[in-house]
Amino acid sequence: MTRILGIETSCDETSAAVLSGSGDDVRTESLVILSQDVHRVFGGVVPEIASRQHLTAIVPVVQRALDDAGATLADIDAVAVTNTPGLVGALLVGVSFAKSLAFGRGIPAVGVHHMEGHLFATALEHSDAVPPFTGLLVSGGHTLLLDVEAWGRYRLLGRTRDDAAGEAFDKVAKLLGLPYPGGPHVESLARSGNPDRFRFARPMLRRNQQPGDDDYYDVSFSGLKTAVLHAVRAATPDDFADIARGFHDALIETLVEKTWRAAKEFGRTRIVLGGGVAGNRTLVAAMQTRMGRAGATVYAPSARLATDNAAMIARAGLFHLERGDRAPLDLNAFASHPIPGLVTT
C-alpha cells in the first residue's frame, strides 16, 4: 500500500489530498480545496494574482490535508503534482513545492497531466468507472473525447476546434450578465427557460456524418456563442432564461451525440465523464437517458470531484508511480502538452 500526497495549482484552486492504496483499490483519506474567490471581481482568472494566492495558500492547504488524514510528512511515500496544462506561474508554485518536498524527504515525485487527472476523478467515487470506457472530458480549457482501452492508453477521437465547453458556458454567462464561473449559473437559469423559443444550430452535427469524417467526433462552440450573442442583442432580460435554455440544449445534445458515436464505434458499455462541466446534472441526465437506451452506463463525478481537485491528481499519480514513472528534479511546468499515453493504432 502506498500513501500519496497530491498537489494541484494549475488554475484558481489550491488543492492537496492524501490517498492510499494500490491499483484500482484506492481510498481518499483527505481532500482540501481552496478556491480563489478574488477572480470573481475580474470576471475571469488573473494569472499573477492566482500565482501569488497559491504561494500564500500552499503550505496551510497541504498541512490541512495531512492533518485531516491523520498523517505527517513522515507517513507520505510519494508526491504527485500537476505540471501541465495550465497557467505556468500557477503550476510552478505546486511543482516547486512538490519537488522540494520530495527532495527533502527522499521520496519520489510524479508529474501529472491535469486532464489525465480529470479522467481518473470519477474512479474515486465509482469503482466501475475504470477502463475500458469512452471518456468525455469537459473543462474550462479543454474538451476531449477519448477511447480508453486501459489506464495510460488513450485514443483521442475528438476535441474542440475553438472554445472548450466550460469556456462556452463562461462566455455565455457573461453575455447574460451572470457571475464567473458561469457554468452552474447558466445551468440553473436554463432550467426555468422555455425550450421552444430559441433553437440554435447544433454545432458540428450533420445528419450524414460518417466515422471517417474529420468532424465526426470534433466539436466547436464559438459559432453557438456568436448565435447567443446575436440573440441577446435582439432580446430583453426577460428572454434570458429562454436563451440560456436554447444554448444549454444545443451544447448538451452535441456532447451526448458525439459521445454516443464513440461508444458505439468502439463497443463500450461504460461512459466516464470528467472536468468541471461534468458537474452539470442536466448533461449527466441527458447522457444517462441516451446511453441507457443502448445498455451503456454513465459515470460522472460529484461536483466536488468534477472541478479541479488534488485527489484526482494523486490518483493518476499513483497509477504512474506503480508503472515506475518518476519525475526528475528538473521537472518543469508547461502551459500546454498533449495528454500522455496517446495511441494511434
Evaluate whether 176 touches 233 at the Cβ level (below 8 Å).
Answer: no
Please tell me whether residue 279 binds ligand KG4 under the rule CB under 6 A. yes
Q: 143 is in the binding site of which of ligand KG4, Zn ion, none (Cβ under 5 to 8 A by kind)? A: none
Binding segment for ligand KG4 (CB under 6 A), chosen from 32-40, 183-191, 238-246, 320-328, is: 183-191
Rounded to a whole number of angstroms, the minimum distance from the CB of residue 133 to ligand KG4 is 19
Residue 117 interacts with, from ligand KG4, Zn ion, none (CB under 5-8 Å by kind): none
Task: Determine if 275 is a binding residue for ligand KG4 (CB under 6 A).
Answer: yes
CB of 287 to Zn ion, least distance (A): 19
Give dist(CA 155, CA 341) in Å, integer. 8
Q: Is 135 in the site for ligand KG4 (CB under 6 A)?
A: no
Partner whose binding site includes residue 169, from ligand KG4, Zn ion, none (CB under 5 to 8 Å by kind): ligand KG4
Q: Is 307 in the site for ligand KG4 (CB under 6 A)?
A: yes
Whichever of 131 and 166 has its CB closer to Zn ion, that residue is 166
Give the span between the Cα atoms of 58 and 153, in whole angstroms: 32
d(CA 141, CA 335): 11
* Min CB(231)–ligand KG4 separation in Å: 19
Torsion of CA 208, 155, 160, 114, to 10 degrees: 160
Q: How far apart are CA 54 and CA 117, in angstroms?
A: 19
Closest approach of ligand KG4 to the CB of residue 303, in Å: 7
Identify what 279 binds: ligand KG4, Zn ion, none; CB under 5 to 8 Å per kind: ligand KG4
Position 301 contacts ligand KG4 (CB under 6 A): no
Q: In Å, how far are 37, 119, 122 from 276, measured between CA atoms?
A: 16, 12, 12
By the rule CB under 6 A, 308 interacts with ligand KG4:
yes
SS (H, E, C) 119-141: HHHHHHCCCCCCCCEEEEEECCC
Judged by CB under 6 A, the stretch of 180-188, 237-245, 260-268, 331-339 that binds ligand KG4 is: 180-188
Helical (H) or strand (E) element with 256? helix 240-266
CA atoms within a 13 Å half-sphere pointing along the CA-CB vector of 210: 2
**One of 181, 203, 301, 317 touching ligand KG4 (CB under 6 A):** 181
CA dihedral 309, 11, 95, 81 (to 10 degrees): 20
What is the distance, to the nearest Å, from the Cα of residue 218 to the centroid of all Cα atoms in its chain?
A: 17
Least distance in angstroms from the C-beta of 220 to ligand KG4: 17
- Would you say 129 and 113 are in contact if contact means Cβ atoms under 8 Å apart? no
Residue 57 grid coordinates? 495558500
Q: What are phi and psi of 177, to 5 degrees?
A: 75, 25
Q: If binding is defined by CB under 6 A, does position 276 make contact with ligand KG4?
A: yes
Q: How far is the CB of 168 from ligand KG4 (least distance, A)?
A: 8
Report the SS3 class of residue 106.
Answer: coil
What pairs with residue 342 in β-bridges? 154
Number of residues that bind ligand KG4 (CB under 6 A): 19
- CB 23 → ligand KG4: shortest distance, Å? 25
With CB under 6 A as the contact rule, the residue among 111, 184, 203, 246 that binds ligand KG4 is 184
Residues that bind Zn ion (CB under 5 A): 139, 308
Are 132 and 102 in contact, with CB atoms under 8 Å apart? Answer: no
Q: Are the C-beta atoms of 301 and 122 separated by less than 8 Å?
A: yes
Whose Cβ is closer to ligand KG4: residue 191's or residue 323's?
191
Query: Is residue 8 at the binding interface for ligand KG4, with CB under 6 A as the rule?
Result: no
Q: Where on the chain is the footprint of ligand KG4 (CB under 6 A)?
A: 11, 139-141, 166, 169-170, 181-184, 187, 275-277, 279-280, 307-308
